[in-house]
Amino acid sequence: MNRYPSWLNILVLTVLVAGCLLALPNMYGSVPAIQIADNNGTAYDESRLQEYVQAVQESGVTPEAAFIQDGRVVLRFDEGTNLTPVGDGLKTRYGRVANVAQTLAPKLPAWVREAGLSPMSLGLDLRGGVYVLLEVDMNTAVETRMSLYQQSFDDSLRDAKIRHRVDLNDRLITIRLTNVDDLEAARAVVQRVDTDVLVSDGTDGKSLNVRMSDAQIDARQDFAIEQNITTLRNRVNQLGVAEPLVQRQGVDRIVVQLPGVQDPNEINKILTATATLQFRMVDQSETEPGSRRYPGRPGEQSQVLKRKVIASGDQIIDAASGTSEGRPIVSITLDSAGGESMLQTTLENLGKPMSTVFIETRREAINVGGEIEYRDTKTEEIINTATIQGVFKNRFQISGLRPGEAHDLALLLRAGALAAPVFKIDERTIGPSLGQDNIDRGFNAIKIGFLAVIVFMVLYYRVFGLIANVALLSNLVFIVAMLSFLQASLTLPGMAGIVLTVGMAVDANVLIFERIREELAAGAGPQAAINSGYEKALSSIADANITTLIAAVVLFGVGTGPIKGFAITLMLGIITSMFTAIIGTRAIVNLSFGGRKLTSLPV
């Protein structure tokens, strides 16, 4: 009686060993490191690794370890090493071809790293770093879509040989027709472009008013948020920041957390930059409808450019900076649609000039009557005008850039254009010393709670209390193992969840042990009391844990960052405590007392 089959004992042992192995990387701590990533996303090999190691050694510092991880070079140094001069030297030497970032790296032995094991990631409140809250300009997202509608309607009506004029005013497109008999034909053309837009007759009887529906506006704004999140993640990855967090907050905001980063200036510029490009033909006649004059850069002439955009930044799938004849350039690769448009344009316009328009949106703070107000300014300027000398499709180069601008522009274009401008509304920098203080306080809370529970269980339940303490320690190991396996970030609220889990985990064993005591008091034998205690307490334990698990799932689903951190550790703690408190302790009790004749139990 009270014997587990051999396979179940082996399963429990296997789970325990696996948990210890997954949790092991967290024992080694982190040390300063430099991470280097290729600008074009190319994975580095051993030869490039040795090149960077040699460059660092020439500066008088030797890495404690050097290896390639996810195609990037990681140079690890001893604790307390000042990496600022090393990082600056690498940026000066390789800044045009690589992104160099100072970070923290786990001090793992080679065999642990090669086994694919890694420690759990630490949230910003524990590790230190930069917190940035960005606001997405939803109005611009809708206005951009309306501009695309304007061009599409104009092109489609021209193809249908309907004489017209298309005007855009705020969120209203007005299509004015020369011939009133074309009204229904024009309506059909608009509906073919998009069946969801709202079309109404103008007051003059020979025009149409076109608006986006509320559902379209909502969908466009959601798209802007999701596209910006994807783009910002790409930009952060290009910068080589380890374990970044980019997620939506509320209706129109995005949170960016960059653990380990202490200098936010350069990163802020990359995150909020909305620089993109448009390629347009020069209107040499200066009479084509829709053409307008664009300024050149200081010292350069302005040009009248045609309304039609040949290709734009959102059609660029790759961009790399370089030099040609001593001048900065960016090599562009377009997607299939952009390439076809460029091919058709160059076929039809050999010997004619084409301009590259640089577009950037900035938010400026101005003082109005003693109060700070923000004004959005959009800059559009021609950076390059060149005569089309030959036919090309999706690969070409642009010049006219300032020194250093080519690298940043290539990074932004390669990571993708923002669907709408973003503006920084909050920023906090958490120093590593504060993060370490949070870690120390959090772990002290866990240790105090853990030791208090251990002492109580041993004094009150004796040998069975020791068994519960073994399960409790295993539960902590399993929580850390799961956080490491899932790469879920541990935050300060997450530590609170672990402390709560410690109490909940031992609570299950208290229920079981009290049931065993009741059975013994009722005259049951020791073996029968053990069996009844576990079986009768199971339903109560399951009910309590399932209801708490439901609450944790709801917290994770509707909560923001800190709440999610608490919910994650609470959910993991509930799952692991069910295993350790019911199956784990039962396995130890069965091995210790099962199958033997007993006159009493040390409970």
pLDDT tens string 346-376: 999 999 999 988 887 766 656 666 676 666 6
> What pLDDT, on the 0 to 100 scale, is given for residue 107?
87
Q: What is the DSSP string of 411-474?
A: HHHHH---SS-EEEEEEEEE-HHHHHHHHHHHHHHHHHHHHHHHHHHHHHHHHHHHHHHHHHHH
Distance CA 398, CA 308 (A): 19
Distance CA 569, CA 120 (A): 12
> What pLDDT, on the 0 to 100 scale, is given for residue 498?
82
Contact 259, 346 (CB under 8 A): no
Distance CA 282, CA 434 (A): 56
Please tell me the pTM assigned to this model: 0.60
- Residue 294: band (very low, low, confident or very high) from pLDDT cuts 50, 70, 90: very high
pLDDT tens-digit readout, 99-127 = 777 777 888 888 888 888 888 877 777 77
Question: Which whole number is the average pLDDT over 402-412?
Answer: 70
- Sign (positive/negative) of CA torsion 35, 36, 38, 42? negative
Question: Which whole number is the average pLDDT over 543-564?
Answer: 79
pLDDT at 403 over 70: no
pLDDT at 305 over 90: yes
- Residue 493: band (very low, low, confident or very high) from pLDDT cuts 50, 70, 90: confident
pLDDT at 39 over 80: no
Question: Which whole number is the average pLDDT over 481-506?
Answer: 81
Q: Which domains does the chain have, with CATH numbers?
A: 6-24+432-593 (1.20.1640.10), 30-107 (3.30.70.1510), 139-217 (3.30.1240), 275-402 (3.30.1360)
- DSSP-derived letter for residue 314 is G
Distance CA 260, CA 105 (A): 10
More confident residue, 558 or 183: 183
Question: Which whole number is the average pLDDT over 136-164?
Answer: 86
> What pLDDT, on the 0 to 100 scale, is given for residue 293?
92
Distance CA 296, CA 358 (A): 10
**End-to-end Cα spacing for the chain:** 19
Q: What is the DSSP string of 156-202?
A: HHHHTT--EEEEEETTEEEEEES-GGGHHHHHHHHHHH-TTSEEEE-
Distance CA 119, CA 29 (A): 9
Distance CA 20, CA 12 (A): 12
Can you list the alpha helix ranges (DSSP code H) found in 487-584? 492-521, 526-558, 561-578
- The number of CA neighbours under 13 Å toward the Cβ of 404 is 3
pLDDT at 402 over 80: no
> What pLDDT, on the 0 to 100 scale, is given for residue 295?
92
> What pLDDT, on the 0 to 100 scale, is given for residue 416?
63
- DSSP-derived letter for residue 349 is -
Distance CA 327, CA 403 (A): 8
Distance CA 77, CA 81 (A): 7
> What pLDDT, on the 0 to 100 scale, is given for residue 323?
81
Residue 165, beta-bridge partner list: 176
pLDDT tens-digit readout, 514-539 = 888 888 888 888 888 888 888 888 88
> What pLDDT, on the 0 to 100 scale, is given for residue 198?
92
> What pLDDT, on the 0 to 100 scale, is given for residue 288?
79
pLDDT tens-digit readout, 1-35 = 677 788 888 888 899 999 999 999 888 888 888 88
Distance CA 209, CA 199 (A): 6
Task: Indicate the length of the chain as a whole number.
Answer: 603
pLDDT tens-digit readout, 424-476 = 888 777 765 555 676 777 778 778 877 888 888 888 888 888 888 888 888 88
- DSSP-derived letter for residue 27 is G
Which of 448, 450, 495, 488 is CA-nearest to residue 472?
450
Query: Would you tell me the crossing angle of helices 6-23 and 585-593 to the nearest 10 degrees?
Result: 130
pLDDT at 239 over 80: no
Angle at the Cα of 338 from the Cα atoms of 335 and 344, rounded to 5 degrees: 135
Distance of CA 67 to the CA centre of its chain: 25
pLDDT at 263 over 60: no
pLDDT at 234 over 60: yes
> What pLDDT, on the 0 to 100 scale, is given for residue 187?
92
> What pLDDT, on the 0 to 100 scale, is given for residue 320?
80
Give me the chain's average pLDDT, please: 82
Distance CA 316, CA 200 (A): 36
Provide φ and ψ at 115, rounded to 5°: -80, -5
Distance CA 306, CA 529 (A): 89
- Residue 88: band (very low, low, confident or very high) from pLDDT cuts 50, 70, 90: confident
- Residue 188: band (very low, low, confident or very high) from pLDDT cuts 50, 70, 90: very high
pLDDT at 266 over 60: no
pLDDT-above-90 percentage for the chain: 8
Structure tokens at 194: 């998009």
Helix (DSSP H) and strand (DSSP E) numbers for the chain: 16, 21
pLDDT at 262 over 70: no
> What pLDDT, on the 0 to 100 scale, is given for residue 246?
84
Structure tokens at 372: 């700070």
- Residue 318: band (very low, low, confident or very high) from pLDDT cuts 50, 70, 90: confident
Question: Which whole number is the average pLDDT over 136-146?
Answer: 85
pLDDT-above-70 percentage for the chain: 88
Structure tokens at 473: 């320690």
Distance CA 564, CA 491 (A): 9
